[in-house]
A and B are shown apart, each in its own frame.
Chain A
Amino acid sequence: MFVSQSMTREVVTIDKDADIYEAKDKMAKHRIRHLPVVGKDNLLVGIVTDRDIRSALPSRLLQAYESGKEASGKEAKGLSEFKIKDIMTIDPVTVSLSYTIQDALMLIQKIRVGALPVVDEQKKLKGILSVRDLLSAFINVMGIGEPGVLLCIIVEQKIGQMEKIVDAITEEKISFGSILVARYWEEGKRAVFPYLLTQNVAPVKRKLKKMGFTLLDPMEWWLDKLPKTK
């Protein structure tokens, strides 16, 4: 669950003296929105995003560029002299290789960015972790890349409930893709979501009901119903 395992290692970067059009071409070619700006020895000096470029370019020129027409005139010439170093974010927030995915999730939510450059102690660029990389990590954790069925079981919040559920499912020789436990809108209860890697869930559903568990249609569960946090 470390950043080093989920980040993109082959980072597309740009030089601080490159012009805006070069950055735009690189983003379009690689279908990315963030370019770390590096100097000598791959040292991180900044980051430039597609939004930085959009804000820097007058919309008329941007449209001309995007429709593939050559921008013309004095204004265009002036823009190609507009350098990355003029629009980049200097000293962006970075994470280190030993950050966990959870760290990165919390940080990205807090500072509202789309990607975090990953650097070593010398500030050398080692990778980049984008929201997209985090989503892949999440899909992985949830196990939903593999075929299976999601159950939702409402349990009393007391010791030993999970054990019963896991035992009941294991006895049926069903493998788990994941188990998520979430808050539930009734006090003293929890919602347990086992993602089961099988098509054959009817027998285990019957068994869990017989054991006294309430099976909720996952459809009926949504976050809005949770008790408001104080």
Chain B
Amino acid sequence: MRKTGFLYDERYLLHDTGPYHPEVPARIQAVYDGIKNGGLLSGLSMIKASYADQMWIEAVHNIKYIQRFEEACLSGMSEFDHPDNQICPKTFETAMLAVGGILDAARLVMNGEIDNAFCAVRPPGHHAEADKAMGFCFFNNVAIAARYIQDEYNVKKIGIIDFDVHHGNGTQSVFEQDPSVFYYSIHEHPSFAYPGTGREFEKGIGAGLGFTINSPMLPGQGDSEYKNIIENKFLPAFEAFRPEVIIVSAGFDAHADDEMSGIMLSSEGFSWIMKKIVEMAERYSNGRLISVLEGGYSLERLPELSKNHVEILLDK
């Protein structure tokens, strides 16, 4: 058994996206219920949300953007930058709590108090750009966590693995010129899915060339195609890079039953992927892994997917 942290807080339900939106508070309730009903809570180190120090958010986002976002929420606007990004007066606060909780989880992992962590947060983050909200995302949670770990713990090499079914354009643009953060994303092909980036030829820029890898998957593909790519492309790339810490953008929307995509991963497929990632963390990163929830919209599937995810982190 490993020591696994679990970040969950009812305040993450406060970000209200209105009646016609898939990124609903019930998502993380489903995640929590799955873990609770799976009997896993007692074996987890619970982490509560806390407000992020804004200086860490500024490590990724422009200060003007942060202010603009806060003002939009407090002034009662219902969307921010695009109708996809529904907001309420509590959205800014919720996003701050998400980042703060994740940074706490990172601190506990880096201090060795826990081995790894799963952060069930809302709103998600990987589409958020330095100065633009996109695809339900406002603050780029994983990018901020990576900068925090690098600066606070003098870590040279961080690996980010993004298996959300959508390409993490925000994360990529933060790190595409930076050889110290390896970004690997496997997602539905951008010609068939949001956000239209993450093509195979996007491999990083300048000094960062080769430190971004995108594996676009075609609609209809699933477990066997994912396994093939992960064994032949993803694992060798990380073996060469050897990250000191691994951050996972864990989206569960590539599941066959999730209507946000045409990718057909099974629940077993997700488990297989996560086992490979955890094995890799054991091999190169002393087990240090922080997994952060991104998408995943099937309220029927989220309980079992998150339960399996946490079981693998626990090595139960």
User: A residues within 8 Å of B by Cβ?
Assistant: 144-150, 172-175, 197-203, 205-206, 217-219
Contact = CB atoms under 8 A, between A and B. Distances in A.
B21 interface: yes
Contacts of B307: none
Most buried by A among B136, B259, B297: B259
Given A198-B83, A199-B166, A217-B220, A148 B20 contact: no
A160 to B, nearest CB: 26
B84 interface: yes
Contacts of A199: 84, 127, 135-136, 166, 194-195, 260
A148 B197 CA distance: 10
Contact of A173 (B83, B192, B193, B219): B83
A147 B84 CA distance: 11
Contacts of A146: 196
A110 B196 CA distance: 32
B84 A148 contact: no
B250 interface: no
A126 B262 CA distance: 47
A89 B135 CA distance: 51
Nearest to B17: A200
Contacts of B194: 147-149, 198-199, 201
B193 A200 contact: no
A172 to B, nearest CB: 8
A149 B197 contact: no
Contacts of B191: 144, 150, 218
A217 B197 contact: no
A201 B259 CA distance: 9
Contact of A144 (B134, B136, B196, B219): B196
A173 B84 CA distance: 10
Given A147-B134, A147-B195, A198 B84 contact: yes
B169 interface: yes
Nearest to B137: A199
A219 B196 contact: no
Most buried by B among A145, A172, A198: A198
B84 A218 contact: no
B190 to A, nearest CB: 9
Nearest to B136: A199
B22 interface: yes
B84 A219 contact: no
Contacts of A218: 191-192, 219
B301 to A, nearest CB: 14
A200 B127 CA distance: 13
Given A206-B259, A218-B191, A219-B262, 5 more contacts: A198-B194, A202-B259, A217-B219, A217-B220, A219-B219
Contact of B262 (A147, A172, A217): A217
Contacts of B82: 197-198
